């Protein structure tokens, strides 16, 4: 019943326009263009999961642990079995982070790509074994990023633009929240864009990192320190990229047609 009520609200909002709810439907059947409260009710009606995580996997100070818990909705759309390892709690999620305008309308949604794993207090104390809460990392193996880009291209066609740009948004899990930063010339990442009639889609592939690699020989993701950042990977290793995300956004023409930025007095 809750799902039907949410859908009715969305259809009523769009009924005065030629734009259908399907035109604003993105990953996980989420419909953009709703007020913030209705957006979160929609996530619940779609049975999208939420969970408490640690915002990182490796801690050096026990005092940080309790202040680094964050409750987030997440998508499993890219949680492919071939990339996962349930024995070590390695799963790949897209953290849901809405973009909200001044009218409290959700005009866009980020999927911040992460993988999960057991949280540890350095050097070898397992926090997850005690608390049953897993940690997050924002470093994603390059072959999964390639597959995501391929799937987006199949759905939306050839990209309209591919750039390497500074001043792009970067979202970083810190303590109990997600902080929005801006990249600089030292942290450039490839940005791929698609445009549809109603939506703009951006895939930020992240910034290549030497602090984490993926080992296909059973070790999974491991943190490492390269001597100069130029060491070649072995055939069983894959590079990782930090802070990748997908951003779905209602385009400006659609926002104007739906009057989403107009103040309701």
Element (H, E) at 50: strand 50-54
Residues in the chain: 265
Quick one: DSSP state of residue 69? E
Element (H, E) at 143: helix 142-156
Distance CA 120, CA 20 (A): 47
**What count of Cα atoms within 13 Å lies in the side-chain half-sphere of residue 213?**
20
Distance CA 155, CA 196 (A): 11
- Cβ-contact 99, 180 below 8 angstroms: no
Per-residue model confidence as pLDDT tens for the chain (265 residues): 555 554 444 545 545 568 999 999 999 999 999 999 999 999 999 999 999 999 999 999 999 999 999 999 999 999 988 888 888 788 999 999 999 999 999 999 999 999 999 999 998 899 999 999 999 999 999 989 999 999 999 999 999 999 987 778 899 999 999 999 988 777 788 999 999 999 999 999 999 887 777 766 656 777 664 444 555 677 777 788 999 999 999 999 999 999 998 866 5
């Amino acid at each position: 019943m809750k799902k039907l009520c949410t859908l009715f609200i969305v259809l009523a909002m769009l009924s005065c326009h030629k734009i259908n709810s399907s035109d604003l439907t993105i990953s996980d059947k989420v419909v953009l263009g709703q007020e913030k409260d209705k957006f979160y009710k929609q996530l619940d009606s779609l049975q999208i999961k939420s969970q408490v995580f640690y915002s990182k996997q490796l801690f050096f100070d026990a005092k940080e642990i309790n202040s680094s818990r964050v409750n987030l909705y997440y998508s499993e759309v890219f949680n492919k079995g071939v990339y996962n390892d349930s024995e070590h709690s390695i799963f790949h999620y897209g953290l849901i982070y809405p973009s909200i305008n001044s009218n409290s309308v959700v005009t866009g949604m980020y999927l911040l790509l992460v993988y999960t794993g057991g949280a540890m207090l350095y050097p070898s104390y397992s926090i997850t074994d005690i608390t049953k809460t897993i940690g997050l990392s924002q470093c994603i193996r390059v072959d999964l990023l390639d597959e995501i880009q391929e799937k987006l291209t199949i759905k939306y066609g050839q990209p309209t633009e591919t750039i390497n740009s500074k001043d792009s948004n970067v979202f970083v899990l810190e303590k109990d929240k997600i902080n929005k930063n801006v990249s600089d010339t030292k942290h450039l990442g490839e940005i791929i864009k698609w445009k549809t009639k109603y939506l703009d889609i951006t895939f930020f592939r992240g910034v290549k990192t030497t602090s984490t690699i993926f080992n296909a020989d059973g070790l999974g993701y491991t943190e490492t320190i390269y001597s100069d950042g130029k060491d070649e990977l072995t055939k069983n290793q894959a590079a990782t990229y930090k802070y990748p995300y997908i951003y779905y956004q209602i385009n400006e023409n659609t926002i104007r047609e739906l009057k989403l930025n107009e103040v309701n007095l």
